[in-house]
Amino acid sequence: MQKIEAVIQPSKLDAVKDALVEIGAEGMTITEARGHGRQKGHTEFYRGREYSVDLLPKVKLELVVKDELLDKAITAITTAARTGTIGDGKIFISKIDDAIRIRNDERGEFAL
Amino acid sequence: MRIRVVKVFLAFLFTLIFGGSVLCGSTAMAQLPSSPQTDRIAALEKRADENATAIAAAQTAGDNGWMLVSAALVLMMSGPGLALFYGGLVRKKNILGTMMQTFAMMAVITILWAILTYSLAFSSGNAFIGGLHNMFLHGVGLAPDPAYAATIPLQTFMVYQMMFAIITPALITGAFAERMKFSAMLVYLTLWSIIIYSPMAHMVWGKGGLLNATAGGRFACLDFAGGTVVHVTSGVSALVTALYLGKRIGYPKVPMPPHSVVLSFVGACMLWVGWFGFNAGSALSAGTLATSAFVATQFGAAAAVIGWTVAEWIRQGKPSALGAISGAVAGLVAITPAAGFVSPMSAIWIGLIAGVFCYLMVVKVKSWFGYDDSLDAFGVHGAGGTLGALLTGIFANSAINPIFGAGKATGLLEGNWRQLLHQAFGVGLAWTISIVGTLIILFIVDKTIGLRVSEEDERIGLDLSQHGEEGYDWAH
């Protein structure tokens, strides 16, 4: 089992979600997030005062998939979320030891 | 054929009119057989009296209807209007604290008005302050007081003026946002209402007031709806408070942008609508003067939106929503003393000038001096109010409101240069009372209960530290 954490542009959420459902990913968790990588922020003006905003709105998407689904899922995300400009986000992959379904104590891949 | 029809119709009408009157006449004669002519005259006189009473009642119904609606509109300016406008401009952790400050005024000033301040403002006294005859609303009944408004119950006048007394101290809260103790705020603004608002309202609007233009004050100052009484006093006191209290922790290094311009936007729109009650209601009747004031209000506000927005667009490259709504408020402030004295075209000029002027005050002047008038109560109300009061002396026109008698010059453009001096005197007096009075009150409150919240409380925000609750709770 592998955990995929993807930080993407908020406007790409729907496209990514649809792409993941299409390849058979069973579930995911979405968080509204703020952050930045190499991308610089922007400035905002309120009554003449300048505020530089360097933490930009992002969406963080977490899902755990079976090992064989990993590459497909990565491709789905990168294809759907890519605009080719700076600020498109990142994907992090890590190994998951176990998973438990709270409803009925199913474990491992059965719990996904 | 057609002629015959007309003849028949005329004959029918004839019978209807004369037959009717003969019938009436015969019944009258039957009741009072003595002298038909004197009786007829007596009956007509009685009818005329009844008509006069009915006309007066109809006028009262019309005027009173508008004034009650206006009073409600002005209350709506405080809550939710001002509460939302200010609430959106602070940081998340202070929204309830900020809104509560305005809401507290809606309760506290109402009671204070009944007990004391209505009397201090509007009962007869000397040139500077009213007496105590109307304390506890003694003598404030449903009969009109012709010295103020001959066609509405005095209680309507009282409750309408109360709404002004509520919003005025609430405006000051913008200057000390995010850092004053709730308890200190209550005491400060209660004293402020007694020591500064009441005398100022009496001088401009009260019987025998020094600046009262309608009741022959010594220095007739034109202030239709409260440019000096409401906006100069609150704006200048706001500046004094911001200077006395000092900056918020971290200002100006820590960014403190508005947490929701959306809330401010809704609030500003409510202020705009409510302002029709504020300005057109100040005619104290539903006649043509109310229309003049209503129209001037709309033009002043719209022109100021354009003034502020264009200035901002040129200087910063983008027209912001916050700029547009701030411009509207600035224009409404500036047109307040002038509404009911100026033509629609003059109102446009006043609005345009106010929009640009207040923008520069807020953006340039504040950063030059470095004071932390958190929500620009001085930049908008103090500066806009002062400007509006002076422009009233220039643009006031006897064709709109012949306040000094028909055809007598009113403003500078009509040739009455003396009026501008009177306006300046009124503004100067308002500045002086506000500065001195506010400093004294702040000193007293600071030495007794302390004005500022602790550093720790300021960091966690007024919502939690002062009220034990949060405006936005993400967990439920």
pLDDT surpassing 90 at residue A59: yes
Q: Of the candidates B224, B257, B251, B234, which has an alpha carbon nearest to the alpha carbon of residue B380?
A: B234
Beta bridge partners of A30: A61
Question: pLDDT tens digits, residue range B431-467?
Answer: 999 999 999 999 999 999 999 999 999 999 999 999 9
| Length, in residues, of chain A | 112
Q: What is the pLDDT of residue B33?
A: 56
Report the Cα A35 to chain-centroid distance in Å: 13
3-state secondary structure of A35: strand
Percent of chain A exceeding pLDDT 90 equals 68
Identify which of B320, B359, B376 has the shortest CB distance to residue A45.
Answer: B320
Residue of B nearest to A49 (CA): B363
Q: What is the pLDDT of residue B11?
A: 59
Question: pLDDT tens digits, residue range A80-108?
Answer: 999 998 889 999 999 999 999 999 999 99
Tokens of residue B99, six digits: 């809104």
Per the CB < 8 Å rule, is A47 touching B323?
yes
In Å, how far is B333's CA from the nearest CA of chain A?
18
Are the C-beta atoms of B284 and B157 separated by less than 8 Å? yes
Tokens of residue B461, six digits: 């925000």
Chain B residues lying within 8 Å of A43, measured CB to CB: none
Q: How far apart are CA B60 and CA A12, in angstroms?
A: 63
Q: What is the pLDDT of residue B255?
A: 87
Residue of A nearest to B252 (CA): A49
Q: How far apart are CA B246 and CA B251, in angstroms?
A: 10
Identity (one letter) of the amino acid at B290? A
Phi, psi of B79 (to 5 degrees): -125, 125
How many Cβ pairs within 8 Å bridge chains A and B?
Answer: 28
Alpha helices for B216-320 (secondary structure H): 233-245, 261-279, 288-316
Q: Of the candidates B423, B443, B390, which has an alpha carbon nearest to the alpha carbon of residue B195?
A: B443
Chain B residues lying within 8 Å of A49, measured CB to CB: 252, 257
Q: What is the pLDDT of residue B5?
A: 59
The reply to whether CATH 1.10.3430.10 applies to domain B49-467 is yes
Domain ranges of chain A: 2-111
Q: Which of A31, A46, A47 has the highest number of chain B CBs within 10 A, making it the mutation to test binding with B?
A: A47
Are the C-beta atoms of B389 and B223 separated by less than 8 Å? yes
Residue of B nearest to A53 (CA): B255
User: How are the residues of chain A apportioned to helix, strand and coil, as percentages rounded to the nearest 5?
Assistant: 30, 40, 30
Q: Of the candidates B149, B159, B287, which has an alpha carbon nearest to the alpha carbon of residue B205?
A: B149
Q: How far apart are CA B281 and CA B294, in angstroms?
A: 8
Q: How far apart are CA A77 and CA A69, in angstroms?
A: 12
Q: What is the pLDDT of residue B167?
A: 97
Are the C-beta atoms of B398 and B200 separated by less than 8 Å? no
Q: Which of B316, B365, B380 has the highest number of chain A CBs within 10 A, making it the mutation to test binding with A?
A: B316
Chain B residues lying within 8 Å of A32, measured CB to CB: none
Identify which of A47, A49, A52 has the shortest CB distance to residue B326.
Answer: A47
Q: How far apart are CA B293 and CA B336, in angstroms?
A: 9
Q: How far apart are CA B462 and CA B454, in angstroms?
A: 10
Per the CB < 8 Å rule, is A45 touching B318?
yes
Identity (one letter) of the amino acid at B224? F
Identity (one letter) of the amino acid at B96? L
User: What is the rounded average pLDDT of the residues A55-69?
Assistant: 93
Residues contacting B142, CB < 8 A, separation 6+: B153, B154, B155
Q: How far apart are CA B430 and CA B435, in angstroms?
A: 9
**Annotation: CATH topology of A2-111:** Alpha-Beta Plaits (3.30.70)
User: What is the rounded average pLDDT of the residues A6-19?
Assistant: 94
Are the C-beta atoms of B389 and B228 separated by less than 8 Å? yes
Identity (one letter) of the amino acid at B421? L
Q: Of the candidates B427, B420, B447, which has an alpha carbon nearest to the alpha carbon of residue B236?
A: B427
Sign of the torsion angle spanned by Cα atoms A28, A29, A32, A34: negative
Partner B contacted by A43 (CB < 8 A): no
Between the CA of residue B401 and those of B98, B114, B292, B340, B421, what are the distances in Å? Answer: 39, 32, 9, 7, 19
Q: Do strands A56-65 and A2-8 pair parallel, antiparallel, or not at all (unpaired)? A: antiparallel
Residue of A nearest to B365 (CA): A48
Chain A residues lying within 8 Å of B85, measured CB to CB: none
Partner B contacted by A48 (CB < 8 A): yes
In Å, how far is B162's CA from the nearest CA of chain A?
32
Residue of B nearest to A52 (CA): B255
Alpha helices for A1-112 (secondary structure H): 13-23, 70-81
Q: Of the candidates B95, B463, B87, which has an alpha carbon nearest to the alpha carbon of residue B264?
A: B87
Q: What is the pLDDT of residue B3?
A: 60
Per the CB < 8 Å rule, is A48 touching B318?
no
Q: What is the pLDDT of residue B17?
A: 53
pLDDT tens for chain B, residues 1 to 476? 556 655 655 555 555 555 444 444 444 444 555 688 999 999 999 999 999 999 999 999 999 999 999 999 999 999 999 999 999 999 999 999 999 999 999 999 999 999 999 999 999 999 999 999 999 999 999 999 999 999 999 999 999 999 999 999 999 999 999 999 999 999 999 999 999 999 999 999 999 999 998 877 789 999 999 999 999 999 999 999 999 999 999 988 888 999 999 999 999 999 999 999 999 999 999 999 999 999 999 999 999 999 999 999 999 999 999 999 999 999 999 999 999 999 999 999 999 999 999 999 999 998 888 899 999 999 999 999 999 999 999 999 999 999 998 889 999 999 999 999 999 999 999 999 999 999 999 999 999 999 999 999 999 999 999 999 999 987 77
Q: Do strands A29-35 and A2-8 pair parallel, antiparallel, or not at all (unpaired)? A: unpaired
Terminal alpha carbon distance of chain B: 86
Identity (one letter) of the amino acid at B325? I
Longest dimension (CA), chain B: 99
In Å, how far is B52's CA from the nearest CA of chain A?
56
Identify which of B252, B255, B362 has the shortest CB distance to residue A47.
Answer: B362
Chain A residues lying within 8 Å of B316, measured CB to CB: 45, 48
Question: pLDDT tens digits, residue range B190-229?
Answer: 999 999 999 999 999 999 999 998 877 789 999 999 999 9
Domain ranges of chain B: 49-467
In Å, how far is A41's CA from the nearest CA of chain B?
14
Per the CB < 8 Å rule, is A51 touching B362?
no
Q: Which of B265, B329, B361, B363 has the highest number of chain A CBs within 10 A, making it the mutation to test binding with A?
A: B363
Residue of B nearest to A48 (CA): B363
Identify which of A44, A47, A51 has the shortest CB distance to residue B376.
Answer: A47
